[in-house]
Amino acid sequence: MERKYGYGEWVIRFRWWIILVTLLFVITAASGARFLDFSSDYRVFFSKENPQLQAFNALQDTYTKNDNVMIALARKDGQVFTRENMAAVEELTKQS
């Protein structure tokens, strides 16, 4: 009479094959991770022909502008936080 193995006995008997196959599966599955990418741009969910996206882009082109101005003040002696400098920054802020 032939003895049938239970699941636990089968796992113990073929443990090295199971470990090898599992490692090969993990390596194969992990090799695709290099193709994963994350994009925070919502435009990837819409086609370029999407009318709502086109309307939104037109709205942004019309009303959204980049009006940033950077003014830098530098002193030769390196003393930035003095009364005179802070007064100059305040005056420059008021005038701009």
- pLDDT (tens, 9 = 90+) of the chain, 96 residues, equals 567 778 888 899 999 999 999 999 999 999 988 888 888 888 888 998 999 999 988 888 888 766 677 888 888 888 888 898 889 889 988 988
73: closest CA among 53, 48, 90, 60? Answer: 90
Query: How many Cβ atoms sit within 10 Å of the Cβ of residue 91?
Result: 10
Q: pTM for the complete prediction? A: 0.37
Distance separating alpha carbons of residues 16 and 12, to the nearest angstrom = 9
